[in-house]
Structure 1
Amino acid sequence: MGTTTGRLVLLTTVLGSAMALLDSTVVNVALPKIGEDLGADLGGLQWTVNAYMLTLAALILLGGALGDRFGRRRVFVIGVVWFAVASLLCGLAPNAAVLIGARALQGVGGALLTPGSLALIQSAFWPEHRARAVGAWSGLGGVGAAVGPFLGGWLVDGPGWRWVFLLNVPLAAVCVPVALRYVPESRDPQAGGRFDVAGAVLGAVALGAVTYALIAAPDAGASPLVIGAAVGGLLVAGAFCYLELHRAHPMLPPDLFASRQFTAINLVTLCVYAAFGGFFFLSVVQLQVVAGYSALAAGAALLPTTVLMLLFSARSGELAQRTGPRLPLTIGPLLCAAGMLLMLRVHADPVYWRDVLPALMVLGAGMVTLVAPLTATVLASVDVGRAGLASGINNAAARAAGLIAVAALPLLAGMGPDAYRSAGAFDDAFRLAMLWCAGVLLLGSVLAWATVRSDSLAHPPNDPQAEPSHPECAHHCGLTAPPLDPGEPPGPPDRPAPST
C-alpha cells in the first residue's frame, strides 16, 4: 500500500469500477432529458436502463470465468476499452434506437470489467496489505456512488446528458495505460472446462423476451407479438434450466441450490433488489416531472441513502456477525418499505426536509440494515472455495430482478407511453408503483424470517473452525446489486529477493 505500484493498482481498479458504478447510478437522473431530446416514450426510457442491465446480468458470470482462465488484467482492460467505446456511441447517439443498442454494448463491457476489479486487488497485494487495499477500494467506490447522482445532475443541467456517457472516455484513457504498465497479471490455475456460452445466450434471450413483453404491453396490449414474446421467453428460460441441469460445466451449477440457505437468500435478494430497481428508476423521474426539481436537485436529493450506506454498512455487517442475519434481513426490508411509502407524500412543490428527506433516511436505514448481512450470508452459505461463484450468482440475480422491475412496474402501475410527460398522470402511477415496491419488500421480509437461519454467519459449511469468507465486502455500497466478491484470492507473485 505504501508503494507507487500499489497506489497505481488501486487507482486502476477504482477508475474501472467507477465507470460501471457511475453509469448504473447516473443515467437514471438523465432520463427525462434523454426522452425530451430524442423524442423517446416511456418504453424507450425503460430500454435505456434495461438494455444495459440485460447484457450485464446475463454475462457477468461468464466475464468472471474469462478472467480466471485468460488473465484478469487482460479481460479487465478489454472490458474498460469496450465500455469506453460503447459510452462514446451512447454520447453520440442520434436517436433512441442507437442509444439503446449502445447501452447493450456497455453492459457487455461492464460484464468484463466488473468481476475483475476486486479480483485484481486481491491477487496483486500481499496478504498483510490486502484488507487495507480492499477497504480503500470499497471506500472510494462508496464515495463514487455518493457523488454519481450529483455529478450526473450537474452534467445534465450543464453541458448536457450526453456527457454522462462521454465522461467515461477520459477515465478509460487514464485507466488502460496504467493497468498495462503497473497491474500484474493473474489467473486461476485451476480454471478449466468449457465456457457456458450457450447458457449465457439462453439467459439473455429469456430475459430480453420477457422484458420486451412487459415494456410493450402498455402500448400494444395483448397483441400476438407481446404474447409470443412472453411465452417464448418462458420457454427459453425452461431450456436454460434444462441445459444447466445437464451440462458438465454449467454457468449456474444446480448443486449450489441444494443449500437451503443459499436458495433462501437469493429469493430474498430477488425481492429486495426488484424493489430497489423500481424505486431508483421512478423516483428521480417523480422528483423532476412532478416535484419540479432540476436534474441536479433530483440527483442531490437521493444522496442521503448512499451516505448512510457508506458510513454504517461496515457496522451493520459487524452487528449481523453477532446477532445472526435473520433479524436484520427481516427488519431491513420493512424499513425500506416504510421509506418508499413515505415517498407517497412527494407531490408538486414538496418541502425537501419535510416530504423527501424523511423517506430517504428511512430507506437508507433499511438498506444499511440488510445489504451487508445479505452479502455475508451468501458467502457463508457455501463452501469457501465456491464463495466467488455464489457471490456472482447473487449479484446476477439482483440485476435480473432490477431489470424485470423496471420493465414490469410501469405496466402494473398503469403508466402509458407518455406518462412521464404529464405530472398528474405520472404522480398517480408513481403512488401505485410505490405500493407494489413496498409489497415486494414485505414479501422479502416474510421470506427472510421464515427461511434464513439465525446462525448462518457463524461459519462456512463443512468447516466449523473457519472464519467467514471476505467480511471486508460488507464495506461496499450495494445500491444496484450486492457487492461482487471474487472468492479465494490467488497467492501473490514471488517477492523480489532482498538486496545485499
Structure 2
Amino acid sequence: MSDAAEVGTRTGGVLAATCISTLVVNANTSAVSILLPAISADTGTSVTTLQWAVTGYSLVGAAVIVTSGSLGDVFGRRKVFQLGLLLFVLSCILIALAGSGGMVIAGRVIQGAAGATILACGLSLLSVANTGDAQVRAVSLWGAAAAVGAAAGPLVGGLLVDATGWQGLFWIDAGIAALCMVLTALTVRESRDPNRPKTIDYAGTVLIALVLTPLILGVTQSGEWGWLSLATLGCFAVSVGAGYAFIAVERRVAVPLVDLALLRNRVLVGSTIAILIGAGTINALMYLLSLYFQDPATLGLSPLEAGLATLPATVGLVLVAPLVPRLAAKFGGRQTIGLGFALTTGGFVIVALVNASWTYTAFLLPLIAIAVGMGLSNGPASAGATAAVPENQVGGASGISNMARYVGAAVATALAATIYGNVISAQTDDGALPDAALASGLSVASWVMAVFSFLGVLMAFVIARHRAAKGTLADAAAAAAAQSFTLPTSATPGQDAPENV
C-alpha cells in the first residue's frame, strides 16, 4: 500500500471511529428519558429516583468534559479515547444487567464520564488527523453525527423498548462501542500535545462535582426534607463552600479547568449562560414529556409512540439549525438568540396551560415553537462563545461552554423533576384525579422553564456585538451540533471555513 493510500485509510478510520462513537453516545443520552417508565416498572424504582440516571450522567459529564481532553493532550488522545470507549461498554453492560434502579443509576454515572471523554478526545483525534479543508469537512461530519444521534435517540429508544425491552439499547450500544475500539486500535495513531504542561487540574474536577452533587441533592429532596430544613440548607452550604474552594484552586493551578480571567468577557459569559439555559430547558422538557406522554392516566402512549411524539422537539431542532448561521450573519447573533428564546418562552407558556383534556395535537404547536426557538438560539450562542476570545483562548472558552451544557442539563432536569413530582403529590393529597394532578405538575414545571427561557431573552441584551459566522456549510453543521458540543465556526479566531465543505 502506498503512503498516500495508507494515510487515506487511517484518516477514514479516524473519521469512522469518532463519528460512529459520537452518534451512539448522543443517541444513548437522548434516549434514556424515554426508557425511564419501562426501567421503573421493571426494577420497582420510582421514576423520581430514576431521574438521577439523567442528572447523574450530566453531573459527571460537567466535571469530566474538560479534564478528559487535558488527559488526552498529556497521556495520549487515542489511549484516553479508548479508555472512554471501554468505560462506555462496561457501563452499558452494567445497566443492561441491572436488577435495581441503583445499578442503573451507577451505570449512568460511569456513562457520563465515558460519554464526555469520547466526545472531547474524539474531536481532538479528528482535528489532528486532518488539516486544511479536510479538517473542516471531517469536523463538520462529526458535528452532523452528533446532531443526528441526539435527534434519533428518543425514537430509537422507543422502538427498542417495544422490540427488545429497555435493555436492548444498551446491549446494542455496547456492541457498537466495542467495534469502535477495534477500529480505533487498527486505524488511529497516537497523538499528544508536546507544548502543554503536564499538570492536570484534578482538584478542580472533584470540586465541580462537589458543587453540583449537593446542590442537585438538596433540590431533589426539598419536597421531602423541606426547603428550609437543616439537611437541605446543609446541602446548599456544602455546594457554596465547594464553589469558593473551586475559585481558590483555579486561581493557583498552572492549567486551570476554568480560566477565571475569561469570565470577565461579557460576550462569553452571556453566550455561556444562554447555552446553559438552552441545554437545561430542552433536557427538562424531554424528561417531562417522556413521563407525561407515557403515563396511563394521561396520553398512555407506548415508548415507541412517545419517541415519535417527541420528534418535533428533536428532529425539528436539527432541521432548523442549518438555516440559522446565515440568519445570524444577516441580522446579528444576539438578535437571533433573543428571537429564539422568545419563541421558546412562548412554547413553554403554551405547554404550561395544559389541562387533563389535552390530546397530543394540543402539544404539537408549542413543541414546534420550542424546537425552532432552540435551533435559533443554540448555534449563535455557541459561535459567540468562541468568537469573543483571542485565538489562544478558544480552547478555554469552548471548554467553559461545553461544561455549561452539562451543568444546565443536570440542574434543570433535577429542578423540573422535583417540581413535577411535588406538585403531583400535593394535588393527589388534596383529592385531585390522577390526570388532573399530572397536568398540574407539567404546568408548574413548564412555567418555571418559561421563566428560564425568558432569562435567555435578556441574555441577548447582555451579549455585545461580536464577529458573526459567515453562514457556511461548516457553520450549519456546528449549529446543528450545538445542543451537544461547541464546534469551531468561521467566526472563531483562526478559523476560515470555506463556503462549500
Task: Tell me if the contact between 1:413 and 1:432 (Cα under 8 Å) persists in the aligned partners.
Answer: yes
Work out whether 1:270 is the aligned partner of 2:281: no
Closer, same or farther in 2 for the Cα pair 1:346/1:157, shift >3 Å? farther
Matching of residues 119-134 of structure 1 within 5 Å: 119-134=124-139
Please tell me the residue identity of whatever aligns with 1:448: A
Work out whether 1:94 is the aligned partner of 2:102: no
2:384 to 365, 372, 377: 377
Q: Quote the residue 2:446 is aligned against.
A: 434
Segments of 5+ residues of structure 2 without an aligned counterpart are 429-433, 496-501
Q: Quote the residue 1:483 is aligned against.
A: 486
Work out whether 1:78 is the aligned partner of 2:64: no
Q: Give the deviation of 1:357 after TM superposition.
A: 2.1
CA deviation vs aligned residue, 1:458-498 (integer Å, no higher than 9, x gap)? 79xxxxxxx99x8465243334x4435599999xxxxxxxx
Tell me which moved more, 303-312 or 109-118.
303-312
Q: Distance in 2 between matches of 1:126 and 1:478?
A: 22
1:21 to 14, 26, 51: 26
Q: Give the deviation of 1:346 after TM superposition.
A: 5.4
Q: Quote the residue 2:332 is aligned against.
A: 324
Q: Quote the residue 1:452 is aligned against.
A: 463
Q: Distance in 2 between matches of 1:441 and 1:243?
A: 32
2:478 to 471, 474, 477: 474
Q: Give the deviation of 1:151 after TM superposition.
A: 0.7
1:333 to 336, 341, 344: 341
Q: Distance in 2 between matches of 1:255 and 1:446?
A: 23
Task: Tell me if the contact between 1:52 and 1:107 (Cα under 8 Å) persists in the aligned partners.
Answer: yes
Work out whether 1:116 is the aligned partner of 2:132: no
Matching of residues 72-471 of structure 1 within 5 Å: 72-221=77-226, 222-289=228-295, 290-344=298-352, 350-352=358-360, 354-413=361-420, 415=422, 422-449=434-461, 451-457=462-468, 471=475
Q: Distance in 2 between matches of 1:376 and 1:15?
A: 24
Task: Tell me if the contact between 1:87 and 1:166 (Cα under 8 Å) persists in the aligned partners.
Answer: yes
Please tell me the residue identity of whatever aligns with 1:228: G
CA root-mean-square deviation: 2.7
Closer, same or farther in 2 for the Cα pair 1:428/1:92, shift >3 Å? same
Q: Distance in 2 between matches of 1:407 and 1:111?
A: 20
Task: Tell me if the contact between 2:334 and 2:465 (Cα under 8 Å) persists in the aligned partners.
Answer: yes
Closer, same or farther in 2 for the Cα pair 1:238/1:308, shift >3 Å? same
Task: Tell me if the contact between 1:205 and 1:233 (Cα under 8 Å) persists in the aligned partners.
Answer: yes
Q: Distance in 2 between matches of 1:125 and 1:48?
A: 36
Tell me which moved more, 341-350 or 365-374.
341-350
Closer, same or farther in 2 for the Cα pair 1:118/1:248, shift >3 Å? closer
Q: Quote the residue 2:431 is aligned against.
A: none
Q: Distance in 2 between matches of 1:266 and 1:147?
A: 26
Q: Distance in 1 between matches of 2:169 and 2:232?
A: 32
Q: Distance in 1 between matches of 2:252 and 2:334?
A: 34
CA deviation vs aligned residue, 1:60-88 (integer Å, no higher than 9, x gap)? 11011111112212111110111110111
Task: Tell me if the contact between 2:478 and 2:487 (Cα under 8 Å) persists in the aligned partners.
Answer: no
Q: Distance in 2 between matches of 1:363 and 1:420?
A: 27
Q: Distance in 1 between matches of 2:168 and 2:204?
A: 35
1:56 to 55, 58, 61: 61
Please tell me the residue identity of whatever aligns with 1:143: V
**SS of residue in 1 equivalent to 2:256:** coil
**SS of residue in 2 equivalent to 1:415:** helix
Q: Distance in 1 between matches of 2:469 and 2:98?
A: 51
Q: Give the deviation of 1:420 after TM superposition.
A: 12
Q: Quote the residue 2:499 is aligned against.
A: none
**SS of residue in 2 equivalent to 1:58:** helix
Task: Tell me if the contact between 1:323 and 1:454 (Cα under 8 Å) persists in the aligned partners.
Answer: no
Closer, same or farther in 2 for the Cα pair 1:42/1:128, shift >3 Å? closer
Q: Give the deviation of 1:279 after TM superposition.
A: 1.2
Q: Distance in 2 between matches of 1:169 and 1:283?
A: 27
Q: Give the deviation of 1:361 after TM superposition.
A: 1.4
CA deviation vs aligned residue, 1:338-375 (integer Å, no higher than 9, x gap)? 122233465557544x3122122111111121111111
Aligned length in residues: 479
TM-score by length of 1: 0.89
TM-score by length of 2: 0.89
Please tell me the residue identity of whatever aligns with 2:160: L
Q: Distance in 1 between matches of 2:475 and 2:386?
A: 9
**SS of residue in 2 equivalent to 1:167:** helix
Q: Give the deviation of 1:377 after TM superposition.
A: 0.3
Closer, same or farther in 2 for the Cα pair 1:472/1:488, shift >3 Å? farther
CA deviation vs aligned residue, 1:183-215 (integer Å, no higher than 9, x gap)? 222222221141110111011011001111111
Q: Distance in 1 between matches of 2:486 and 2:260?
A: 22
Closer, same or farther in 2 for the Cα pair 1:139/1:269, shift >3 Å? closer
Q: Distance in 1 between matches of 2:426 and 2:251?
A: 43
Please tell me the residue identity of whatever aligns with 1:37: D
Closer, same or farther in 2 for the Cα pair 1:359/1:381, shift >3 Å? same
Closer, same or farther in 2 for the Cα pair 1:240/1:299, shift >3 Å? same
Work out whether 1:40 is the aligned partner of 2:45: yes
Closer, same or farther in 2 for the Cα pair 1:107/1:410, shift >3 Å? closer
Q: Give the deviation of 1:327 after TM superposition.
A: 0.3
Closer, same or farther in 2 for the Cα pair 1:137/1:267, shift >3 Å? closer
Q: Identity over aligned residues, as a percent?
A: 29
Q: Distance in 2 between matches of 1:163 and 1:489?
A: 44
Q: Distance in 1 between matches of 2:398 and 2:184?
A: 25
Q: Distance in 2 between matches of 1:340 and 1:136?
A: 32
Q: Distance in 1 between matches of 2:427 and 2:378?
A: 31
Segments of 5+ residues of structure 1 without an aligned counterpart are 460-466, 491-500
Task: Tell me if the contact between 1:287 and 1:298 (Cα under 8 Å) persists in the aligned partners.
Answer: yes
Closer, same or farther in 2 for the Cα pair 1:456/1:107, shift >3 Å? same
